[in-house]
A and B are shown apart, each in its own frame.
Chain A
Amino acid sequence: MSRYSAWAVFKNGFSGQKNWDRQWRDPEPKKEYDVVIVGAGLHGLATAYYLAKNHGIKNIAVLEKGWLGGGNAGRNTTIVRSNYMMPGNRYFYEHSLKLWEELSHELNYNVMFSQRHHVSLFHSPAARDAAARRYNTMRLTDTDGELWDLDTLKKEIPHLNYNNARFPIIGAAVQRRAGSARHDAVAWGYARGADRQGVDIIQNCEVTGVTREDGKVTALETSRGRIGAKKVGFAVAGNTSRLWQMAGLGNLPIESHKLQAFVSEPLKPLLDHVVVYGVGGAHFYISQSDKGGMVFGGDLDWYKSYAQRGNLPVVQDVAECATAIMPCLGRVRLLRHWSGVMDMSMDGSAFICKTPIDNLYLNGGWNYGGFKASPGSGWYFADLIANDRPDPVIEHFDLGRFKRGVIIDERGAGPDPKLHG
């Protein structure tokens, strides 16, 4: 398959840009694979890519019940940041951000990663102090972070509501290296990169059963027949509990909730940064896509659900949040809104871990934060599957942390999944 370059675009110009190779094959499933990953979302595809690239394992299948990148990979607000503070999250997300910084070159695919700053507003001295603690922790652990006072913020983003906001803005915590990326391109880039190394990406292939013999998973029953596997990785956040139960493993510290995202009609350049705030029951994040659409979102729909469609009360809540902070959006029309199913975990943090079954590995529990995590998640999940032991960076992302009492509750919300925003 050809490498993408300016020269390739020029050369294909002679044949009307009609002779490009397919980006990935559409293979029939083989009888058996060394590793089968369930879920061709960002995490599954990244895992397959790094298994092949970093660990030399080539006989891999990625199974997808729908189409590639059609789940939460295509249903997020594309924010990338690493402003996590808790041990367990801190180095993981920073590693992921470092992978983002090189991702377009790594994949030979423009993922349009734009380090446009993540600007997290605060509205009270207490919130400023909490942000100072968090961002100082980041600075002490080799990540950039800074606090902007009100004058700086007004200069950088003059059109926020500084006049009569219900919760007056007093400043912002900023991570300059954070930003956004093109979500589909990430899925496609990893898929193409994995496929080029021999990984079979098998779409329209729903797992319907997990076959276990002698304490090991030997095969997956799928809508396209039985597929044998020496090792299996689940990367199906949103539906993790269902696969877990198919494997006969019982309950998980996860509930499935739905989260909506929104995009407006395209506008001329309006917002150069990712702007976020959360205060007094409001929760809101917004950025502008390269096509001009305002991409934004807010809270969960507040009740457990597997439905990939949102409910209207949250549309109203989010619209109120938007106009509260950027009144200039008042007459902008909404173009689309959609909903994805999140694995909301009991402490708001993820799982990349071994399971009670020797050759089965779990990747899930990503809450709101799966998009930014996907390169790091694939990196460390591949490492876990290849070497059968967790890297120290992810050793706290296991299922046993609740029993040990070392939960990673970044928000301090307690064991109520819907509260971990």
Chain B
Amino acid sequence: MIRINCPFCGERDHTEFSYGGDASIVYPELDASMEEWHDAIFMRENIRGMQSETWHHANGCRMWLVVERDTMTHEIQSVRPAHKGNAAVLSTTDTGGEQ
């Protein structure tokens, strides 16, 4: 079991979460070239080692998180809310790292 320290709920089993994927992917503008969209939708670096990725606390606070996790050892380095705005609205002080 991987334990993820949710900034809103505390440390929980990873089975409470739903895996998003590579957090480094940013979708381009709607009118960007086919090439850019192709790369964003289909191409992945597929890192072996520390990777930034999104997890959704689906069976908890339902917030999206950005987790830095090693894809070889499953060790977690940091967890933070994916959306700065939401975190601010919830006036969370302990966000487990920078925002």
- A307-B72 contact, Cβ under 8 Å, with A402-B38, A403-B34, A416-B21: yes
CB–CB A307/B46 < 8 A: no
Interchain CA distance A253-B40 in the complex, whole Å: 10
B-binding segment of A48-56, A99-107, A129-137, A297-305: A297-305
With A311-B2, A416-B21 in contact, is A251–B72 under 8 Å at CB? no
Determine the distance from Cα of A417 to Cα of B2 in the docked complex, in whole angstroms.
21
Known interface pairs A311-B1, A312-B1. Does A255 touch B44 (Cβ–Cβ under 8 Å)? yes
A:167-220 near B, CB below 8 Å: none
Whether A339 sits at the interface, judged by CB under 8 Å, is no
* CB pair A252 B44 closer than 8 Å: yes
Q: Residue A415 contacts which of B18, B41, B46, B73 (CB distance < 8 angstroms)?
A: B41
In Å, the complex CA distance between A415 and B41 comes to 7
Name the one of A251, A254, A255, A307 contacting B74, with C-beta atoms under 8 angstroms. A307
Residue in B13, B39, B42, B73 with the greatest tally of chain A CB atoms within 10 Å: B42
Asked if residues B42 and A415 are in contact (CB atoms below 8 Å), the reply is: yes
Cα–Cα, bound, A268→B51 (Å): 46
Complex Cα distance, B13 from A417, in Å, reads: 23
Q: For this complex, into which size category does the number of interface residues on chain A fall?
A: 20 to 34
Instruction: Identify A256's interface contact among B13, B38, B42, B48, CB under 8 A.
Output: B48
Asked if A280 is at the interface (CB within 8 A of a chain B CB), the reply is no
A313 within 8 A of B: yes
Q: Which of A302, A306, A311, A416 has its CB near the most chain B CB atoms (within 10 A)?
A: A306
Bound complex: CA of A250 vs CA of B12, how far in Å?
A: 35
Q: Which of B8-22 contact A (CB under 8 A)?
A: 13-15, 18-19, 21-22
> Bound state CA distance, A256 and B48, in angstroms?
9
For the complex, give the distance between the alpha carbons of A303 and B16 in Å: 13
Tell me, rounded to whole Å, the shortest Cβ–Cβ distance linking A409 to chain B. Answer: 12
Chain A residues near B19 (CB-CB < 8 A): 302-304, 418
Instruction: Output the least CB separation between A404 and chain B (Å).
Output: 10
Q: A95 in the interface, Cβ–Cβ < 8 Å?
A: no
Interface hub of B2, B39, B43, B53 (most chain A Cβ within 10 A): B43
Is A384 among interface residues, defined by CB-CB distance under 8 A? no
Q: Does A111 contact B (CB under 8 A)?
A: no
- B45 interfacial by beta-carbon distance below 8 Å: yes
B71 within 8 Å of A by Cβ? yes
Contact of A252 with B46 in the complex, beta carbons under 8 Å: yes
Give every chain A residue within 8 A of B73 (Cβ-Cβ): 307
Q: How far is the CA of A311 from the CA of B53 in the complex (A)?
A: 19
Shortest Cβ gap from A276 to chain B (Å): 24
Could you tell me if B44 and A313 are in contact, using CB atoms closer than 8 angstroms?
no
- Among A254, A302, A403, A416, point to the contact of B46 (Cβ < 8 A): A254
A353 at interface (Cβ–Cβ under 8 A)?
A: no
Query: Which A residues between 214 and 265 are near B, CB-CB below 8 angstroms?
Result: 239, 241-242, 245, 250-256
When chains A and B are docked, how far (Å) is the Cα of A253 from the Cα of B38? 10
| A303 contacts across to B, CB distance below 8 A | 2, 14, 19, 53
| Contact yes or no, B42 A304, CB < 8 A | no
Contact call B1/A313, Cβ cutoff below 8 A: yes
Provide the residues of chain A in CB contact with B34, threshold 8 Å. Answer: 403
Rounded to whole Å, the gap between the CB of B13 and the closest CB of chain A is: 8
Contact of A252 among B13, B41, B43 (CB under 8 A): B43
User: CA–CA, A241 to B74, complex, Å?
Assistant: 19
Chain B residues whose C-beta falls within 8 Å of the C-beta of A255 in the assembled complex: 21-22, 44, 46
Contacts of A418 in B (CB 8 A): 19, 21
| Shortest distance from the beta carbon of A421 to any chain B beta carbon, whole Å | 14
With A256-B48, A311-B1, A313-B1: A305-B74 Cβ-Cβ less than 8 Å: yes
Out of A239, A241, A306, A311, name the residue touching B44 (CB < 8 Å): A241
CB-defined A-B contacts under 8 Å, sample of 16: A242-B46, A250-B43, A252-B43, A253-B42, A303-B2, A303-B19, A303-B53, A304-B19, A304-B46, A304-B51, A305-B72, A307-B71, A311-B14, A403-B38, A415-B42, A418-B19
New A-B contacts (4) at CB < 8 Å, excluding given A251-B39, A251-B45: A251-B43, A255-B46, A304-B53, A311-B14
A-contacting residues of B (Cβ < 8 Å)? 1-2, 13-15, 18-19, 21-22, 34, 38-39, 41-46, 48, 51, 53, 71-74
